[in-house]
C-alpha cells in the first residue's frame, strides 16, 4: 500500500478552501442527527481549523502516513474533537462523519481539476481515499479511548457515592455497603472509612452488609482487611446485616470472625456501639 503523496491533494485543498469548507459542512449537517445553532457553529469552527492543519501536514513532507510526526497537529485536533463528541453524547458514526463527509466535496474538486489525466486522477482518488480512511479510523480510536476514560471516571464516582460513611453518634460511624465488594471497591471503602475516622475521631465503626448479595471467601477477606485497617486507626468495627444464609456461608468457608462483633441488624449494632461509647437510649414517658 502506497503512502506517498502526489502533491495534487495539497494544491486542491489550498486553492479551494472555502468551496471545500462549505461543501463539507453541507454534507455533515445533512447527515447530523442533532442540529442546532451551537452544533453548527462548533462544526464550522472545527472544520475551519482542520483544513489548514491538513494542508500543513501535506506541505511538510511527501507522506500520507498519519503516524508520521508531520501529522501530529492533525491527530491532536481529531483527539480533541473525539473527546468533545463523547462528552456531548455523539455516536461513533456521528464522530467519524467529521472526516468521511469531506471525501465527497474533495473528490469532486479532484475530478474537476484532473479531468484530463484519468490515470493520475484514479491514483489520487485511491490514495486520498485511503488517507481519509486512516484519519477516520484514528478518529474512532480516539473516540473509544475517550469514552473508556469517561466510563472509568463514572465508575469511580459511582463507587465513591455507593460507599458513604455516616456519623450516627459522636463516636460512632456507619458504613452501609450495597452491591458486590471487590478489591477495587474495598480500597475505596477503606480509604473513605479511615479518612472519616481521622476527621471525626470515632472509636466505633459499624460495617453494614445487609445490601451485599453474597459473601464468599474473597468478600470475607475484604471485610477483615477493612476491620484491621480501622483498628490500626484506633477504631473497633462491628459487622451488621449477618443474615442466616450468610452466617452459614461464613461458617462453611471457615472464615474466622471470632474477634469481630457481628449483629443481625444495623439497629442491634448501633445499640452495642452506644454501650461501648458509654451512651444510653431511653424511651420517653
Higher per-residue pLDDT: 152 or 19: 19
Poorest-confidence range of 51-65, 100-114, 175-189? Answer: 175-189
pLDDT over 50 at 64, yes or no? yes
* Sign of the CA dihedral running 51, 55, 60, 63: positive
CATH of domain 166-276: 3.30.750.24
Question: In a 3-state reduction of DSSP, which class is residue 235?
Answer: coil
For the chain, state the CA radius of gyration. 31
pLDDT over 60 at 271, yes or no? yes
Instruction: Identify the pLDDT of residue 205.
Output: 93
Q: Report the candidate in 119, 8, 121, 129 with the shortest Cα–Cα distance to residue 58.
A: 8
Instruction: Identify the pLDDT of residue 2.
Output: 47
Q: What percent of the chain has pLDDT over 90?
A: 32
Neighbours of 154 (CB within 10 A): 10
Instruction: Identify the pLDDT of residue 100.
Output: 92
CATH of domain 8-156: 1.10.490.130
Instruction: Identify the pLDDT of residue 133.
Output: 94
Cα dihedral 116/121/122/125 (nearest 10): -150
Instruction: Identify the pLDDT of residue 88.
Output: 86
Q: Can you tell me which residue has the cell 471485610?
A: 223
Q: What is the location of CATH 1.10.490.130 in the chain?
A: 8-156
Q: What percent of the chain has pLDDT over 70?
A: 90
pLDDT over 70 at 283, yes or no? no
**Which pTM does this prediction carry?**
0.59
Residue-wise pLDDT tens digits, 116-161 = 889 988 988 999 999 999 999 999 999 999 999 888 877 666 655 5
* Sign of the CA dihedral running 123, 124, 128, 129: negative
Q: What is the location of CATH 3.30.750.24 in the chain?
A: 166-276
Average pLDDT rounded to a whole number, residues 234-258: 82
Instruction: Identify the pLDDT of residue 224.
Output: 84
Using CA atoms, how far apart are residues 57 and 225, in angstroms rounded to an integer?
55
pLDDT over 60 at 75, yes or no? yes
Amino acid at each position: 500500500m502506497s503512502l506517498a503523496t502526489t502533491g495534487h491533494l495539497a494544491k486542491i485543498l489550498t486553492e479551494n478552501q472555502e468551496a471545500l469548507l462549505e461543501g463539507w459542512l453541507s454534507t455533515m449537517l445533512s447527515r447530523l442527527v442533532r442540529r442546532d445553532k451551537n452544533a453548527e457553529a462548533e462544526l464550522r469552527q472545527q472544520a475551519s481549523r482542520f483544513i489548514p492543519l491538513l494542508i500543513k501536514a501535506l506541505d511538510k513532507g511527501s507522506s500520507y502516513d498519519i503516524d508520521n510526526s508531520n501529522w501530529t497537529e492533525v491527530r491532536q485536533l481529531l483527539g480533541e474533537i473525539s473527546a468533545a463528541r463523547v462528552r456531548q453524547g455523539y455516536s461513533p458514526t456521528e464522530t467519524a462523519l467529521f472526516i468521511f463527509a469531506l471525501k465527497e466535496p474533495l473528490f469532486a474538486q479532484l475530478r474537476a481539476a484532473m479531468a484530463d489525466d484519468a490515470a493520475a486522477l484514479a491514483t489520487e482518488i485511491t490514495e486520498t481515499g485511503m488517507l481519509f480512511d486512516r484519519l477516520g479510523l484514528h478518529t474512532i480510536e480516539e473516540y473509544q479511548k475517550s469514552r473508556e476514560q469517561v466510563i472509568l471516571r463514572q465508575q469511580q464516582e459511582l463507587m465513591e457515592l455507593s460507599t458513604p460513611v455516616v456519623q450516627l453518634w459522636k463516636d460512632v460511624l456507619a458504613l452501609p455497603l450495597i452491591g458486590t465488594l471487590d478489591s477495587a471497591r474495598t480500597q475505596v471503602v477503606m480509604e473513605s472509612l479511615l479518612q472519616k475516622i481521622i476527621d471525626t475521631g470515632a472509636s466505633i465503626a459499624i460495617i453494614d452488609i445487609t445490601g451485599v448479595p453474597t459473601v464468599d471467601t474473597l468478600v470475607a477477606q475484604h471485610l477483615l482487611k477493612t476491620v484491621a485497617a480501622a483498628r490500626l486507626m484506633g477504631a473497633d468495627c462491628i459487622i451488621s446485616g449477618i443474615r442466616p444464609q450468610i452466617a452459614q456461608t461464613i461458617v462453611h468457608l471457615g472464615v474466622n470472625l471470632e474477634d469481630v462483633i457481628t449483629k443481625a441488624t444495623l439497629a442491634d449494632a448501633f445499640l452495642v456501639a452506644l454501650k461501648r461509647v458509654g451512651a444510653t437510649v431511653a424511651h420517653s414517658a
